[in-house]
Structure 1
Amino acid sequence: MSPKVILITGANSGVGFATSKVVAGASPDFHVIMSGRNLEKVEAAKTEIEAAGGVKGQLSTLHLDITDDASIESAVTYIGEHFGQLDALVNNAAVGGITPNHRERLRYCMETNVVSTRTLSLAMQPLLLKSDNPYSIYVSSGVGSLKMAADAPAGATGYLVVGDAYRSSKAAVNMIMILEHKDTYDTQLKVFAVCPGFVVSNLRGTSEEARTGGGKAGDPMVSGQTILSIVEGKRDADVGKLVHKDGVYPW
């Protein structure tokens, strides 16, 4: 039987890197395609995972810039020609939008996190629907929950002062996920949004202080385990929801 083909975007660091490592180390039945806009960095990340040992499945790399339609089209063609189908899409690539200029950060976040994420999902959907048990997974965030934001104390953002763009984009990602879930109700596609938690990531910046959230950020490997549990079917009861490692977040 052919291995399940899993495409992970933004796979060279953070949650994407951790998920690639966790999934590839879980079973020989998985072929993980690590993708990103900088192929050199993605290939270096693949080499790092392989050098650490413990890889049971297969790893390959693919150039994919989700903000570039030609790059998306090329990725669809490549996966179609080499694998014939896609079993899981982990839509992880995103930006934090931490510039002080509100117009710039809103446009930047929405273009990458929402417009490009949606564009990639639609482009990959035909390949997903060729699988017997496909998953479309959006890496979202609890900071995009409207209820959690509304219930927070007055004056509390729960994020950075300039977090409006990122939080708004993740709220929009949650809506995109719901729409795909509803639009494909009569297919075998299982659609999820997943909150990786507050983990070490380049979203907040590339300095050690920013990446680690001042030492408060958790291990992204935990995020990888959560995404693995979805791919393995262990979270199927929560399809169409915003899940996290311990349960489900409200909208």
Structure 2
Amino acid sequence: MSERTVALVTGANKGIGYEIAAGLGALGWRIGVGARDQHRRETAVEKLRASGTDAFGVPLDVTDDASVAAAAELIADHAGGLDVLVNNAAITGPMPQTPTTLEPTTVRTVMETNVIGVIRVTNAMLPMLRRSTAPRIVNMSSSVGSLALQTAPDTDLLPTAYLASKTYLNALTIQYAKELSDTNILVNAGCPGFTATDLNGFRGTRTPQQAATIAIHLATLPNNSPTGTFSNDTGPIPW
């Protein structure tokens, strides 16, 4: 295992993912920049390196088995192992997304990235995480995935496929935490808040740097910290 903490951030070529990579890199960590777009990935790596981060590119399409397997092999060969996985890559899918207008193909596409992609990447990286002394898995979720908040009287109709994918991701987080409770792997979900990214047409009210705060917090939790939690940078969120 590398003497330096090694993290993989998926979808790290821009937005929140890039800022998570930058924040963890500022701690002196070695950062794998996971992204499927070669040009954006290489540009992000160059920018991170220019700011002093020990970054390396990881070609990664979370929807593709072979790509994920190759990414795991690259990290093992290039960095000697993995300590922290941040599952950040996500899509919203085409709109509108009300239950009565939703196309099944939209649901499949969103779930393939936001849910199945998390399973695919997590399971591929688990052998390395199990060998770490302080392994952490951070799933970037959203408060829209909270069933408690969805059912609140003052909550408007939200994009159905996207919010369902985050509800599913929250359930996965709980189940991974339960299964891995006898290990030192902490698995937690974080909400970045309504952030100005291309995911929402830059309508968000938070900056990507602000949004990265919760992921950095969960990635750096000390040993014996809680696992199976859902929170933002102000505190717990109801499931």
- Say whether the fold is shared (TM-score over 0.5): yes
Q: Deviations over 1:69-120 (max 9, x none)?
A: 0001101111122333210000011111133453232111111111111111
Identity among equivalent positions (%) equals 31
Q: Secondary structure at the match of 2:85?
A: strand
In the superposition, the TM-score normalised over structure 1's length comes to: 0.87
> Could you tell me which of 171, 190, 206 is aligned with 1:218?
206
Paired position in structure 2 for 1:46: 45
Give the conservation status (yes or no) of the 8 Å contact 1:229–1:235.
no
Q: How does 1:159-198 map to 2 (within 5 A)?
A: 159=158, 163-198=159-194
CA–CA distance in 2 between the matches of 1:140 and 1:228? 14
Evaluate the alpha carbon distance shift between residue 234 and residue 141 of structure 1 in structure 2; reply closer, same or farther with a 3 A threshold.
farther
Q: Residue 57 of structure 2 aligns with which residue?
A: 61
Aligned to 2:118: 117
Q: CA contact under 8 A between 1:63 and 1:71: conserved in structure 2?
A: yes
Question: Partner letter of residue 48 of structure 1?
Answer: K
Cα distance, 1:200 vs structure 2: 1.5
The reply on whether 1:247 has 2:235 as its aligned counterpart is yes
Quote how far apart the aligned CAs of 1:60 are.
1.0
* Paired residue secondary structure (2:73): helix
Aligned residues of 2:48 and 2:54 also touching (Cα < 8 A): no
Partner amino acid for 1:150? T
Aligned pairs for 1:1-251 (under 5 A) are: 2-25=3-26, 27-28=27-28, 30-51=29-50, 53=51, 55=52, 57-100=53-96, 101-153=102-154, 156-157=156-157, 159=158, 163-204=159-200, 210=201, 212-213=202-203, 216-233=204-221, 237-251=225-239
Q: For 1:234 and 1:196, how far apart are their aligned partners in 2?
A: 21
How far did residue 236 of structure 1 move? 6.3
Q: Shift of residue 237 of structure 1?
A: 4.0
In the alignment, the residues of structure 1 paired with residue 49 and residue 125 of structure 2 have an alpha-carbon distance, to the nearest angstrom, of: 27
Alpha-carbon shift at residue 228 of structure 1 (Å): 1.4
Question: Can you give the 5+ residue segments of structure 2 that lack an aligned partner in the other structure?
Answer: 97-101
- Matched-pair contact (CA < 8 Å) for 1:23–1:224: no
8 Å contact 2:115–2:165 — kept in the other structure? yes
Q: Which aligned segments of 4 or more residues in structure 1 are displaced greater than 3 angstroms?
A: 234-238
Q: 1:134 is aligned with what amino acid?
A: P
1:36 alignment partner AA: A
Q: Please say if residues 143 and 237 of structure 2, whose CA atoms lie closer than 8 Å, have aligned partners that are also in contact.
A: yes
Give distance in 2, aligned partners of 1:126 and 1:66: 17
Give, in whole Å, the separation in 2 of the partners of 1:49 and 1:217.
25
Counterparts in 2 of 1:153 and 1:225: CA distance versus 1, 3 Å = closer
Unaligned runs of 5+ in 1: 205-209
For the 8 Å contact 1:39–1:62, the answer to whether it is kept is no
Matched residue of 1:180: which SS? helix
Residues 192 and 211, structure 2, Cα contact 8 Å, conserved in 1? yes
